Amino acid sequence: MNLKSLPKIELHLHLDCSLSFDVVKQLRPGITQEQYKSDFIAPTNCSSLDEYLKCAQEPIALMQSKEQLEMVTLDLFQQLKKDHVIYAEIRFAPLQHCKKGLTAEEVVQAVDEATAKGINETGIEARIILCTLRHFTEEQSMQTVRLVEQFKGSRVTGFDIAADETLPIDNHIKAFEYADRNNIPCTAHAGEACGAESVRDVLQNFYPSRIGHGVRSLEDDTLMDHLKQQDIHLEVCPTSNVQTGIYDSVANHRVNEIYERGNSLSINTDGRTISNVSLNEEYSSLNKHFNWEPEHFLRVNHHAIDAAFCDEETKETLRKKIDSVYH
């Protein structure tokens, strides 16, 4: 079975965690393969989510100009093309890229324009999700969500909260209320470093239609039933979950349980560089450990399309592309 050639949807993908060695060499001339592995790729087994997230600092430092943001975005499109991804949602925190003079608006515009260029060059459809971070102030969260509204009509279509799940959510409730009032689609990282309670927390306060990771929802049967009833989608990232210590191996990941329960889920890389993984490799791993066949991947890709932050016309086009190959 040639999993590589199957068309794929990827919803959970961090731009600043997906810099290939090729683009890093251009941005940081002289870097060796060994330095790249040390500075950009997280350990196979991190001691914590925080250790994993620290590996995003080096790439962020290389993404502080319009030219750098364009290079990194176009590089990601080439990675997606190798994986036969036909639709991707690329997320990043724009306020992280204002350290050398760019305004947040200029950052978003640069990535949006580069995304349009990537779509044109590769034929891969894509949208952008803007992230606030748990350690941000209320003002920073509001600034980020207003950028989503400001760029309505572009490829910017969603809002997310990422980073250290152990931090309280209080600073971000106002931003998610703004998103709800303005019909901005939302996802939220939860159920990764913290347990099922963190998922309940974001559901009750942020009202997202998707959860980033969310795998620890399995610790609470009632919560899993609620997610299914409300059709709340789980963006599952198997390799990343092993790195951050939720599971000791992909073989012991509980993604198959989520699938068997009938919950909506997708398969994603999270960060292609930081996790040192491609979507093809994620698919191969699930095939190896859980005997997932094309029909399994067809189902999760349909789930992903249904949950995607794009218009219905785009979704229907994606469904036809998926069905023509899988059937």
Residue 238 and residue 285 in contact, taking contact as beta carbons nearer than 8 Å? yes
Question: Once rounded to an integer, what is the mean pLDDT over residues 258-285?
Answer: 98
Q: Answer whether residue 21 shows pLDDT above 70.
A: yes
Q: Tell the burial category of 300 from Cβ atoms under 10 Å away from its Cβ (0-12, 13-18, 19+).
A: buried
Average pLDDT, the chain: 97
| 94-142 residue pLDDT tens | 999 999 999 999 999 999 999 999 999 999 999 999 999 999 999 999 9
Task: Look up 192 and say whether it is catalytic.
Answer: yes
Whose structure tokens read 């969603």?
Answer: 158
| CATH dotted code for 3-310 | 3.20.20.140
Sign of the dihedral defined by the CA atoms of residues 63, 309, 210, 160, in that order: positive
Cβ atoms within 10 A of the Cβ of 314, count? 14
Whose structure tokens read 């009750």?
Answer: 204
**In the chain, domain spans:** 3-310
| 216-254 residue pLDDT tens | 999 999 999 999 999 999 999 999 999 999 999 999 999
Residue 263 and residue 255 in contact, taking contact as beta carbons nearer than 8 Å? no
**What pLDDT is stored for residue 52 in this prediction?**
83
Residue 235 and residue 187 in contact, taking contact as beta carbons nearer than 8 Å? yes
Q: 192, 235, 281, 282: which is the annotated catalytic residue?
A: 192
Q: Answer whether residue 34 shows pLDDT above 70.
A: yes
Model confidence at 1, pLDDT cuts 50, 70, 90, reads low
**What pLDDT is stored for residue 209 in this prediction?**
99
Q: Which of 65-69, 80-84, 234-238, 244-248 has the lowest mean pLDDT?
A: 244-248
Strands 233-236 and 156-162 turn out to be unpaired
Model confidence at 278, pLDDT cuts 50, 70, 90, reads very high
**What pLDDT is stored for residue 230 in this prediction?**
98
Q: Answer whether residue 48 shows pLDDT above 80.
A: no
Residue 84 and residue 47 in contact, taking contact as beta carbons nearer than 8 Å? no
Q: Which residues pair with 212 in a beta bridge?
A: 189, 235
| 156-208 residue pLDDT tens | 999 999 999 999 999 999 999 999 999 999 999 999 989 999 999 999 999 99
Strands 233-236 and 210-213 turn out to be parallel
Token couple for 164? 């250290």
To the nearest whole percent, how much of the chain has pLDDT over 70? 100
262 residue type, one letter: G
Phi, psi (deg, nearest 5) at residue 71: -60, -45
**What pLDDT is stored for residue 79 in this prediction?**
98
| 287-303 residue pLDDT tens | 999 999 999 999 999 99
Token couple for 4? 């590589």
To the nearest whole percent, how much of the chain has pLDDT over 90? 93
Model confidence at 327, pLDDT cuts 50, 70, 90, reads confident
Helix, strand, coil fractions of the chain, as percent rounded to 5 = 55, 15, 30
Model confidence at 11, pLDDT cuts 50, 70, 90, reads very high
Sign of the dihedral defined by the CA atoms of residues 193, 196, 201, 204, in that order: positive
**What pLDDT is stored for residue 99 in this prediction?**
97
Cβ atoms within 10 A of the Cβ of 217, count? 27
